[in-house]
Amino acid sequence: MYQISDLKKGVCIEIDGEPFQVVDYHHVKVARQAGMMVTKIKNLNTGSISEKTFKSGDKVKPADVGYQKCQYLYPEGDGYVFMRNDDYEQFTIGSDLLEDAKPYMTEGMDVDIQFFGEIPLGVNLAPNMVFEVIETVPGVKGDNATGGSKPATITTGAVVQVPLFIKEGDKIKVDTRTGAYMERAN
């Protein structure tokens, strides 16, 4: 059991059988009362964010949340099929749980999948990945790194804003958390 003082950003807890992750927290002290902790928590099943206040002395059950290496196989209907790397069992995750990861997933790639018990909650990608630019408008003589930006389509079909000097066939590093161009890759 967690003491309320143990709650920090990123900690996963279980409330009424549902997994939650602490998104934000702050301590509140009211006159003549014990301190309280007001938290913003994200329901890992639904993605909804709510506020929960805990009193000093409350205890919270840690959620049985873990990560497992899996391989992304292919899209199927409204879901995506993955395979566990240890026992080769295949399972499907609905597209609603993969909103942030979908633009950067390629068939055959290894990913970390977050589970609550046996229920998949989402996919964690590497924070930055290298992709090839397959379509962008050609650069014009004089374009440089300080100029502006233009849209470029990468191999997964996602569109990333890149500097004007990037051309088709270039490999670029993309921050998968924000979708921002980072640098040209070798």
> Are 52 and 42 a contacting pair, CB within 8 Å?
no
Cα separation values, 67 from 105, 112, 116, 164, Å? 17, 6, 9, 39
The pLDDT profile of the chain, 186 residues, written as one tens digit per residue, is: 888 888 888 889 999 989 998 999 998 888 887 888 999 999 888 888 999 999 888 899 999 889 999 999 999 998 999 999 999 999 999 888 887 889 999 999 999 998 988 888 888 888 999 999 999 998 766 655 556 889 999 999 999 999 988 999 999 999 998 999 999 998
Single out the residue of 56, 57, 59, 47 nearest to residue 15, CA to CA.
59
Asked whether 102 and 95 are in contact (CB, 8 A), the reply is yes
In whole angstroms, give the CA distance from residue 16 to residue 18.
Answer: 6
- Please tell me whether the overall predicted TM-score, pTM, comes out greater than 0.75 for this model: no
Which class is domain 2-62? mainly beta
Q: Where are the domains of the chain?
A: 2-62, 65-124, 128-184
CATH code given to domain 65-124: 2.40.50.140
Specify the 3-state DSSP secondary structure of 95: helix
Fold type of domain 128-184:
OB fold (Dihydrolipoamide Acetyltransferase, E2P) (2.40.50)
